[in-house]
Chain A
């Protein structure tokens, strides 16, 4: 078991471009979470999936953000028309059950210039 894997680790993009991040959860985990973290803050919830179903999406998330988890395996998070305020660490986590422990990937650090 290699743990949760996120790609890319770093992404620099120009304002207005679209970016897509990938997360591969621990293989038997049916729950997958996306969080965003800025310097000095705790992780902020974005969305989560149980298998392929997206069960909750943060009200703070604008329409520029979309996430998918086809076939209940890996997940992608897309940000359209990036803004400088999107610069952050994007974290993915997975868990086996609804109350179970969640394990994080290494994160993707996004810089919008």
Chain B
């Protein structure tokens, strides 16, 4: 059973729209949650971290965490073609290693 699950996509949205990316995790003891962006052939780049229930906003990005539902999401407002990439959800359990989901491929259409 996978510990972190994401819809692999591709998720296609028009330029200027809101992109919504979702992630579920299996370990209720998970304590920190992260979103990474990865362009093709490049390494993951940290976008957001979230540690407590609720929303966290940073520019066009909003991370949402619901520990009761074991659910993390990332909203990208005013999506741009440059946002086209794979978005990886990562969970840190008990301060040990980071467990990554398979990633969701986002395509923003001009």
Interface residues of A (CB under 8 A from B): 33, 35, 40-45, 48, 55-56, 89, 91, 93, 98-107
Contact = CB atoms under 8 A, between A and B. Distances in A.
Bin the interface of chain B by size: 20 to 34
Main secondary structure of the interface of A (DSSP, over half): strand
Interface of B: 4, 8, 31-32, 34, 36, 42-46, 49, 51, 88, 90, 92, 95-103
Given A42-B103, A91-B43, A102 B34 contact: yes
Given A41-B103, A48-B96, A104-B44, 19 more contacts: A33-B98, A40-B8, A42-B88, A42-B101, A42-B102, A42-B103, A43-B88, A48-B97, A56-B97, A91-B44, A98-B95, A99-B31, A99-B95, A100-B32, A104-B36, A104-B43, A104-B45, A106-B42, A107-B42
A105 B97 contact: no
Contacts of B51: 99
Contacts of B43: 89, 91, 104-107
A40 B97 CA distance: 21
Contacts of A100: 32
B44 A45 contact: no
